[in-house]
Amino acid sequence: MKNNLKLKSVLAGTLVASFCLMNVCSTFAQEKPKGKPWPAPEAAVKTKNPVKADDANAAEGKELFSQHCKSCHGAKGKGDGTKAEKIDISCGDFTSAEFGKMSDGELFWKTTEGRKPMPSFKEKLSDNERWTVINYVRTLGKAK
């Protein structure tokens, strides 16, 4: 009986320790520095998205996001993709209020130009595809 009680205590302690460790690790993963400021030129900030956001291009945007962005930015855009832990700075949270304040033109410019560790998508995606991805990313902030 005493051994059974000891075993239960050890298992409970292990479970609590595991839970705490998981929470600590996930907290550290989310607390990476944001990196240096990355302002877009004023002309880029003012550029309007020429691609209408609708269900058809949302599906295309999701597919492109899955192929090119999800590994770092995560399936829900929270910056927790499979490659994110290997990057020294935060991949950003597309669902945050801060991100939501950026204009589509600013996002287009950043996606086009890139900045280490994020690559440029100027040669990988057409202008239309980049705008479509931006339309899709905007839906992530609404899906909180």
Place of tokens 């059974």: 4
The verdict on 116 and 76 lying in the same domain is yes
66 and 134 both lie in a single domain: yes
> By residue range, what is the domain housing residue 7?
1-31
CATH of the domain at 79: 1.10.760.10
CB atoms within 10 A of CB 136: 23
Residue labelled with tokens 């002309």: 43
| Number of domains comprising the chain | 2
- Distance in angstroms (rounded) separating the CA atoms of residues 129 and 57: 9
6 with 73, same domain: the answer is no
The answer to whether the beta carbons of residues 95 and 78 sit under 8 Å apart is yes
* 112 shares a domain with 63: yes
Q: How many CB atoms lie within 10 A of CB 121?
A: 20
Do both 19 and 46 map to the same domain? no
Please state, in angstroms and rounded to a whole number, the distance separating the CA atoms of residues 129 and 41: 21
In this predicted structure, what is the pLDDT of residue 10?
Answer: 44
- If asked whether residues 64 and 132 sit together in one domain, one would say yes
Segment-wise mean pLDDT, segments of 10 residues, the chain, 144 residues: 52 42 40 85 98 92 97 95 91 93 97 95 98 96 71
Same domain, 129 and 59: yes
Look at residue 131 and give its three-state secondary structure. Answer: helix
Same structural domain, 57 and 92:
yes
